[in-house]
Every structure is written in C-alpha cells, then in structure tokens.
Amino acid sequence: MSIFKGSGVAICTPFKEDGAVDYELFAEQIEYQIEGSTDAIIVCGTTGESACLDHDEHIEVIRYCVEKVNKRVPVIAGAGSNCTETAIFLSKEAQKAGVDALLLVTPYYNKSTQKGLIEHYSLIAEAVDIPIILYNVPSRTGVNLTPETMAYLVNNVKNIVGVKEASGNISQIAKLMSLANKDIELYSGNDDQITPILSLGGIGVISVLANIAPKKTHDIVDSYLKGDVKKSAELQLEAIALCNALFCEVNPIPVKKAIQLQGRDRGVLRRPLCEMEPENAKKLQKAMKEYGVL
C-alpha cells in the first residue's frame, strides 16, 4: 500500500519577526492544505528550512504537525542529514512523534560514494520501523543517487519504499523504473515535471507549488491517475510559468514571498536566505495573477 498518491506539499515553516517558529500561522497553513485537497504533508523538508532549524525545533515542528493533522492525511517528516548518526536520531524522534513515513535527502557536502549511500540509508532504515522515501536532489547536495543504487535499496531494504526524484533527468528516472521493475513509489520532486514522471509510473509529487495552489496541484496528479492524461498535461503546462517563477531564486525564498503576497505568511526567512530581489518579486506576482492564485 502506497504512503500516499497525489499531491504532497513540502510545507513551509513560518517564522515570527524575531525568528521563532510561528505555530499559529503553521496551524493555519496546515488547515489551508487539507481544505485544498492536498493528499499528504511533508514537514521539515528543504522548503521547510530544515537546515536552519536546531534539533529541538525540528522535532517540535514535526510533533506539532502530526498533532494538528490528526491523521486526516499522511505526514512525512524530513529527517535527512549529511551525518548518518544525526539522521538516525532525527528519524527515531520523528517515528516517536507519530509520522507515517520519512523523507531522507542524500548526505550533502560530504559527496559520499554510492557504497557509502547504501550504508548510510541501510543503517537509518534498520533504526526505524516506518516507511522511507529517498530524496535525490543533486543540484543541492552535490551527489547523485544513481538508478542502480536506488533500485538496490528498494529491492533489499524492506522499509525503503520510494523516492522523491528531483534530478530533473527523465532518462535517469526511466532507467530507475526499469531496474526496479516498477516496484517503487516514485514521486516527482520538480513541479514542472509532474505529468512526465507520472507517465513513467510515478504516483504523485512532493510539491513546492502546492503551498500556494494546493487544489490545482492535486488536480494535475488526480487527472492523470483517473486516466485523463490530456487534462493532466494541460494543467501541467498551465502551471509552468509559475513553476519557473517559484524557482527564479533559491527555494524557499520565492514561495515564502508568494504566501506573503496571498496574505497568509510574513515571509520571514532564516539566514543565510534573504529577501527576494524586487524585480523577481514582480515576476512572481505577475505569474501568480496569471495562474489565478492571487
């Protein structure tokens, strides 16, 4: 049984002006997502600025999210680290908090070998009893999780069940699905490639776009899974301009600005992230208006 099918939002972590986590706004964002037909919530991922949360904050944000969601949709916690022991610690704490699954990014900066990646993920998987989704995003981490390595892990480690693929390399993803005999839960990690990845056997997306357009993102996936490929493709293409605007600066700078423009967040970022360039903010605002989310 899949962890989820459809659109999972990589939810932002809202902060107060003094930098503290704004749990009141976070609760509002969670309700906005559930009301908007989001199929799962991914907490403390890249978009949630997990790299700038200390361990206590990281765990508390996960706990709070699980409590507020209250089993209405699956909650998946980002618990990856470039340190295996840290990833094990965060994964165990996330399991204690009651999450449905873990999202584990490849170790960044260290640039591990594929053998090291297998050892890293296997050790984490042995330490917990819940499903694990691997997260491949070489543009941010400096290391690519190869199709051969992903297929090995899925076929040999019982609770490693899926992958969020954000390499952007469609040929690599096709090779993965071939090697894994489709026995893998594949999620698009790029909002501009949802429909193409669904066509290779994907079952959903872990999305930045869903922060500001949950229903529209849900519908891209839902249309495809219900057999209306043409509609899914049309909805995908309609979203391309906004997808591009949401990544004109490093994520999550644009999406936090977008939520601020919608009046649902203060847009506060933790350093080293900073305020969006005015010209890019204008482009983002224009794309949001054209897409009908502003």
Active site residues: 135, 164
Other beta carbons within 10 Å of 148: 12
